[in-house]
């Protein structure tokens, strides 16, 4: 039911045109039409789930797929409501460890074939001796030692955690284990050994087709999206109400939206700093990502669509082949497009390399894992740097996050959601659900909408993202 109070707001300002922001904007534009304003700093929509259109090919930001665990209603929302055709594809991933590789998701036959008997025995022993370690949940390392034992922990998890998060496993909270069903999550591995999660869905025109369909529907309903535009100021009054939101648009002109209802999906620490510039923001840690796209003339005939590299001996974390996700997205592009993802942090060596240097590093990695040979020439290299791609759950994250939340929760006409708003590892389907649900909450007739959303947000924080 529509909330009559929202008619008193002059604008409904949604910060961020990622999947969650756009879904909320679309749902609200059905009721409030021209009042709906989306502000996005990039020149494109979709956020992390955008498809980038380069001169000669189209690519996603890293490997993106709709997981097989997606709710039926969300699949129907994508296909029927948004009109995005989803292909059903079989997963053929490969998990590459030093000296051996396993199919991913794992299957029993492959595991038996790959693991030498001596190793299988040693890992079984590791599982048995795990009880020698106390049930200590203070950090990732101690929790994992109790869960899988020393041998499995050291061979599979230790380096992976360093690589993914950039800090020692002792400094990661076990929330990092719960909120991300990594490729090395024990439960996921057991489920897929039992035959689950062997397929995925993929929009035939790229992951970004979901955001592009939402953006078009928002425009058709009278809503407006400001691209290349930044939130520059938020005016609040003594009754803890946002009086206006100022945005610097693509021409660096200030646009002021007065009397707004504000829904934000931008990084929660940045939002807090903009609203309360004089309160020092408690530190939240994020992990950044460099994604490199390599185009070669030859058509590679590989069985696998994705290669995962958890160990530190390869700088790259994941390599994927988008043409295997959809044959339609790049049907006019000859040759092979290779996407290489590097977990990194702003200012470190990988972040700073120019495209030629990182292109050379990718080639070395691709030769090392036998995807390319020495003689194959790279035609083009493009790369993007993604800030704040992953929330890092350090052992102190909760205090920092709660303190930010406390500052923001008193503001009557502000709602925070989305991956970077809730500091949450989540998938595209969770982002769509958040968008739909927050639109329901703020347009409902119910009182205490903030408390209602807080409850829903707490529910979302129990969702785990999958690779």
Ligand X SMILES: Cc1cc2nc3c(=O)[nH]c(=O)nc-3n(C[C@H](O)[C@H](O)[C@H](O)COP(=O)(O)OP(=O)(O)OC[C@H]3O[C@@H](n4cnc5c(N)ncnc54)[C@H](O)[C@@H]3O)c2cc1C
Point out which residues bind ligand X (CB under 6 A): 15-21, 39-42, 47-49, 61-67, 230-231, 265-267, 270, 289, 341, 389, 418-420, 426-429, 431
Instruction: Indicate the angle between helix axes 19-32 and 428-443, nearest 10 degrees.
Output: 30
Of 60 and 413, which CB lies nearer to ligand X in the complex structure? 60
Please name the residues in contact with 193: beta carbons below 8 A apart, sequence gap of 6 or more: 105, 106, 107, 108, 111
Shortest reach from residue 42's CB to ligand X, in Å: 5
Tell me the closest approach of the beta carbon of residue 272 to ligand X, in angstroms.
12
Between 65 and 130, whose beta carbon lies closer to ligand X? 65
**Least Å distance between CB 389 and ligand X?**
4
What is the smallest separation between the CB atom of 23 and ligand X, expressed in angstroms? 8
Cα separation, 65 vs 206, whole angstroms: 9
Nearer to ligand X, 169 or 317 (CB): 317
CA distance 192 to 195: 5
Q: Are 211 and 125 in contact (CB under 8 A)?
A: no
For residue 41, the minimal CB distance to ligand X (Å) is: 4
Would the CA dihedral through 327, 331, 333, 335 be positive or negative? Answer: positive
Instruction: In angstroms, give the least distance from the CB of 47 to ligand X.
Output: 2
Q: Which is nearer to ligand X, 143 or 411 (CB)?
A: 411
Decide: residue 308, CB within 10 A, 0-12 exposed, 13-18 middle, 19+ buried. Answer: buried
Cβ 44 to ligand X, closest distance in Å? 8
In the bound state with ligand X, the residue whose beta carbon lies nearer, of 9 and 305, is 305
Phi/psi region, residue 408 (left: phi>0; alpha: psi -120 to 50; beta: rest), is: alpha
Cα distance from N-terminal residue to C-terminal residue, the chain: 36
CA 163, distance to chain mean position in Å, is: 17
Question: How far apart (Å, rounded) are the C-alpha atoms in residues 262 and 37?
Answer: 10
**CA-to-CA distance for 168 and 294, rounded, in angstroms?**
31
d(CA 150, CA 190): 19
The nearer residue to ligand X, 66 or 381, going by C-beta atoms, is 66
| Cβ at position 205, least distance to ligand X in Å | 16
Closest CB 19 distance from ligand X, rounded Å = 4
Query: Rounded to whole angstroms, how far apart are CA atoms 254 and 242?
Result: 17
Nearer CB in complex with ligand X: 149/267: 267
Q: Contact at 8 Å (CB) between 383 and 361?
A: no
CB closer to ligand X, 67 vs 89:
67
Q: Using CA atoms, how far apart are residues 368 and 97, in angstroms rounded to an integer? A: 12
């Amino acid at each position: 039911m529509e909330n009559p109070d929202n008619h008193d707001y002059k604008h409904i300002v949604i910060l961020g045109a990622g999947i969650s922001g756009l879904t909320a904007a679309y749902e609200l534009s059905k009721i409030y039409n021209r009042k709906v304003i989306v502000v996005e700093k990039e020149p494109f929509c979709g956020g992390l789930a955008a498809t980038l259109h380069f001169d000669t090919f189209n690519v996603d930001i890293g490997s993106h797929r709709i997981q097989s665990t997606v709710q039926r209603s969300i699949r129907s929302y994508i296909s029927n409501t948004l009109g995005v055709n989803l292909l059903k594809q079989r997963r053929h991933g490969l998990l590459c460890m030093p000296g051996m590789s396993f199919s991913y998701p794992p299957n029993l036959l492959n595991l038996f074939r790959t693991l030498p008997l001596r190793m299988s025995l040693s890992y079984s022993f590791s599982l048995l001796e795990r009880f020698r370690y106390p049930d200590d949940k203070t950090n990732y390392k101690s929790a994992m030692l109790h869960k899988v034992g020393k041998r499995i922990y050291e061979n599979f998890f230790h380096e992976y955690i360093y690589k993914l998060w950039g800090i020692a496993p002792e400094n990661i909270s076990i929330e990092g284990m719960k909120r991300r069903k990594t490729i090395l999550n024990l439960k996921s591995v057991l489920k897929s050994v039992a035959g689950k999660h062997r397929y995925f869905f993929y929009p035939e025109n790229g992951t970004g087709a979901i955001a592009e369909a939402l953006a078009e529907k928002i425009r058709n309903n009278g809503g407006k999206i400001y691209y290349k535009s930044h939130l520059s100021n938020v005016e609040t009054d003594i009754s803890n109400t946002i009086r206006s939101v100022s945005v610097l648009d693509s021409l660096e002109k200030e646009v002021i939206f007065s009397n707004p209802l504000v829904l934000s999906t931008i990084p929660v620490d940045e939002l807090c700093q903009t609203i309360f510039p004089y309160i020092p923001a408690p530190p939240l840690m994020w992990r950044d990502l460099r994604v490199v796209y390599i185009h070669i003339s030859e058509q590679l005939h590989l069985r696998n669509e994705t290669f995962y590299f958890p160990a530190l001996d390869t700088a790259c974390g994941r390599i994927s082949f988008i043409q295997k996700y959809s044959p339609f997205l790049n049907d006019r592009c000859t040759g092979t497009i290779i996407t290489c993802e590097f977990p990194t942090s702003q200012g470190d060596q990988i972040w700073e390399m120019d495209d030629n240097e990182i292109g050379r590093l990718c080639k070395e990695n691709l030769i090392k894992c036998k995807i390319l040979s020495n003689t194959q020439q790279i035609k083009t290299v493009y790369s993007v740097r993604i800030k704040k791609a992953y929330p890092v759950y350090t052992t102190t994250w909760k205090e920092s996050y709660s303190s930010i939340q406390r500052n923001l929760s008193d503001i009557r006409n502000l709602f925070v959601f989305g991956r970077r708003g809730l500091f949450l590892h989540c998938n595209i389907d969770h982002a769509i659900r958040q968008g739909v649900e927050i639109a329901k909450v703020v347009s409902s007739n119910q009182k205490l909408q903030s408390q209602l959303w807080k409850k829903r947000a707490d529910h979302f924080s129990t969702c785990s993202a999958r690779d």
